[in-house]
Copies of this chain bind each other. A is one copy, B any other.
Amino acid sequence: MLNIGVIGYGYWGPNIVRNFVGTDGAKVAAVCDKNAATFKKLILSNPSILVSSDSKAIIESPTVDAVAIVTPVFTHYELAKRALENGKHIFVEKPFTDSVAHAEELVNLAEQKNLVIMVDHTFLFTGAVKKIKELIKERALGKIYYYDSTRVNLGLFQHDINVIWDLAPHDFAILNYLIADQPVAVTACGRAHINGHEDIAYISVFFSSNLIAHINVNWLSPVKVRTTLIGGEKKMLVWNDIADDEKIKVYDKGIDVTTKEDIYELLVNYRSGDIWIPRLDNLEALKQETAYFVECVKNGAKPINGGQAGLQVVRMLDACDQSLRQNGKTVSL
């Protein structure tokens, strides 16, 4: 049985607790939050969980095997470091840390101590991303041309980070998971209209191939959009994560190019076939992720969303910040 201590019981913490409570082989031993009032309901329904306002009670507890860190990003490094130093496996909210150096240090520390880091890139465990991964793996889309994501809505304004650090980690984590190719550079531009942090930003990610990724994030949109287009040589897909059903549509659509050699002319043919809407597994993503964490700890396995994956996302966020400060200059990764 893996005894888990959860630090942070604000917006997302209750979901983490609920899912670890429901995970075989795991037990939520303790929860801490600065604001003790948040525990009222928790205590009623889970009287056996220890509650505390001090993270020390969890990080230094001999009965805690793993620590889930569900606090604002600027606190992750400090808490994670202490947890690793105390021999705990860690499950950390995204983005992993607030700087590349911090992330690297944690990755190295876990390596030395042979501990598991998992970063909560929940989207990798959704039916949609799993299906897209499967399609790419079996080369159903052919060579990938582009990944184009729009992730906009009204608010929620964050006071310590800009819209890129808030929303783009989802896309970076997904992109790195789906695409075998490594990103080599990013460019980002944006504007701050309200509180000094960019509330709108446009990010391009370049790869060594001619694949291009683009991410449009915006806290000032009147409509919520979560749409990703992935174009491939053979097929293309649209992933609309807002849709109740029919989240993914696969289009047998594209362009075939032939060359009439004698006249050196390119002939472009448009292809348009059936559309296919695969049924997706609709298990709760976070439940699968918490189970996977328990499994990785048990087997000493490296998670797909481990420290390296978390670090790579932070690298991309950091490069975006550099590009933003230089008015959209391309920044190598």
Complex: how many Å from CA A268 to CA B231?
Answer: 38
Question: Closest Cβ of chain B: how far from A38's Cβ, in Å?
Answer: 15
The A226-279 residues at the B interface (CB cut-off 8 A) are 229, 231, 236-238, 246, 249, 251-255, 257, 266, 268, 270, 272-279
Residues of B within 8 A of A252 (CB): 279
Contact A212 B229 (CB under 8 A): no
Contact of A212 among B191, B222, B254, B270 (CB under 8 A): B191
Question: Closest Cβ of chain B: how far from A22's Cβ, in Å?
Answer: 12
Nearest residue, chain B, Cβ from A41: B45
Asked if A172 lies at the interface with its beta carbon under 8 angstroms from chain B, I say no
Residues of B within 8 A of A278 (CB): 274
Question: Closest Cβ of chain B: how far from A63's Cβ, in Å?
Answer: 23
Contact B222 A238 (CB under 8 A): yes
Question: Closest Cβ of chain B: how far from A192's Cβ, in Å?
Answer: 7
Asked if A85 lies at the interface with its beta carbon under 8 angstroms from chain B, I say no
Complex: how many Å from CA A275 to CA B273?
Answer: 15
Nearest residue, chain B, Cβ from A268: B157
Most chain B beta-carbon neighbours within 10 Å: one of A202, A214, A276: A202
Contact of A229 among B145, B221, B266 (CB under 8 A): B221
Interface size class on chain A is 35 or more
Question: Would you give the 0/1 interface string for A188-228, flagging 1 where the beta carbon is closer than 8 Å to chain B?
Answer: 01111111000010101010001110101010111100000
Contact B194 A268 (CB under 8 A): yes
Contact A191 B146 (CB under 8 A): yes
Complex: how many Å from CA A79 to CA B46?
Answer: 34
Contact B270 A279 (CB under 8 A): no
Complex: how many Å from CA A192 to CA B255?
Answer: 13
Residues of B within 8 A of A276 (CB): 274-277
Question: Would you give the 0/1 interface string for A144-171, flagging 1 where the beta carbon is closer than 8 Å to chain B?
Answer: 0110101010110101000000000000
Asked if A328 lies at the interface with its beta carbon under 8 angstroms from chain B, I say yes
Residues of B within 8 A of A204 (CB): 189, 202, 328
Contact of A45 among B45, B155, B190 (CB under 8 A): B45
Residues of B within 8 A of A279 (CB): 252, 272-275
Asked if A139 lies at the interface with its beta carbon under 8 angstroms from chain B, I say no
Contact B190 A212 (CB under 8 A): yes
Question: Closest Cβ of chain B: how far from A245's Cβ, in Å?
Answer: 8
Complex: how many Å from CA A78 to CA B210?
Answer: 36
- 29 example contacts (A-B, Cβ-Cβ < 8 A) are as follows A145-B220, A146-B191, A146-B218, A146-B220, A148-B216, A150-B150, A152-B229, A154-B254, A154-B270, A154-B272, A187-B189, A187-B328, A189-B212, A191-B211, A200-B212, A202-B214, A218-B229, A220-B231, A220-B236, A220-B254, A221-B236, A223-B229, A249-B277, A276-B276, A276-B277, A328-B328, A328-B329, A329-B329, A329-B330
